[in-house]
Structure 1
């Protein structure tokens, strides 16, 4: 079973990638479960700009540190802490938001030939959701992709398109000079010292307020301004995530670096 070319480090969550093949995987099925054991202990995942509005109601949105920052949805403030799922991956709350990066797994579009633009639907064969099971939704029927497989392909295509728009947004955001090192300090009665979180980027709200009218108008017209405020509003969820961690026995520890 040939794997996709491993010229780069595999993305977060993925252990391997195999192209879906009509002949090799004709008997493969997908088991649909309301569980995500693959994100147990994962505290942050990449987020696309289309997700800012729904996500900001439930979890903080920050930007990764480094030269090429990306938006992140924080499911926990401490490494190894995920308040979205229990120890076996079952969702804690049905009304919460599950990032598209999580929903996409174990699928992904991969360019198998670097000289061609064509991308192939691949999956992580180590995931126990896909295999030759007695029960489940078939991926291939009568030598062709089933409607489920077509829907999975469409979702992955939409994700790639959204990721491209997110990259453009981040390029523009870096050029504005609005990003700054973030820091969060939470004080609780049981501790003399506050819990301090660093290692992420956030928008400098003071600089944002000081932008010229023409700059703000441009940001409003290209859709950037609402996204920045969705990010800023989402930071109010930091304390909520902190308290959820404590209630679930997942931490916290002082001076943790979000990375």
Structure 2
């Protein structure tokens, strides 16, 4: 899983190097995300995402599982942004909303220097003479909250894995319009039979941590696969 998906020129945020940098609204909105069909998702987001997207799991190179939200079944990207880059779905994953900022695994704040959100003439300054400007403080608060939730989510996935609840999820989805079927591979879902066998302290603890609710949201989201298969091909977006 790439923590810096979408970032053309990721660099560490530096007060001296970026002292004149300003943050503004991007003219092309969420167009930067159009080339992917899924992104990592935090457990707390499962509820909102499950309305029209599917939450499944992948296994990373380190052997740990992590959740992803399927925005499309097309390898060429997703259709949740229109040609102007405006989001058309009901929920924008936090992984996308944090752009053009990111927090590296060692805590370093990074930015995409090539992002259209940055300018030296328009928008709000990131730094003042005395420290962080409000725009940067807001971005940093969001990054820290996102990092906290992703850590909770990693614990959740490790718990699922330790109990053997994640099973390969391979399915052929046929669009309602009779189009070509799409076969999903390399993904995982919670085994409902093993989940139903949880008892005692484990089940009580998982309720307390909201993990049981996250599992139900994940299972509910699988019903959105038919919608994803029927979505039109991704729009052509300006770069």
What interval of TM-score do these two structures reach, taking the shorter chain for normalisation? 0.7 to 0.9
Q: What is aligned with 2:19?
A: 26
Contact 2:56 2:218 in 1 (8 A): yes
Task: Extract unaligned runs of 5+ from structure 1.
Answer: 1-8, 251-259
Residues 1:202 and 2:196 aligned together: no
Relative to structure 1, the CA distance from residue 183 to residue 139 in structure 2 (aligned partners, 3 Å threshold; closer, same or farther) is: same
The two structures, once aligned, show a CA RMSD in angstroms of: 2.6
Deviation at 1:190, TM superposition (A): 6.3
Q: How does 1:75-224 map to 2 (within 5 A)?
A: 75-93=71-89, 96-110=90-104, 119-132=107-120, 134-188=121-175, 191=178, 194-224=181-211
Deviation at 1:10, TM superposition (A): 6.0
Distance in 2, Cα, partners of 1:64 & 1:110: 20
Q: Larger radius of gyration, structure 1 or 2?
A: 1
Task: Extract unaligned runs of 5+ from structure 2.
Answer: none
Relative to structure 1, the CA distance from residue 190 to residue 124 in structure 2 (aligned partners, 3 Å threshold; closer, same or farther) is: closer
Relative to structure 1, the CA distance from residue 210 to residue 18 in structure 2 (aligned partners, 3 Å threshold; closer, same or farther) is: same
Relative to structure 1, the CA distance from residue 143 to residue 215 in structure 2 (aligned partners, 3 Å threshold; closer, same or farther) is: closer
Contact 2:3 2:104 in 1 (8 A): no
Q: TM-score, normalised by structure 1?
A: 0.79
Aligned residues: 233
Deviation at 1:20, TM superposition (A): 2.4
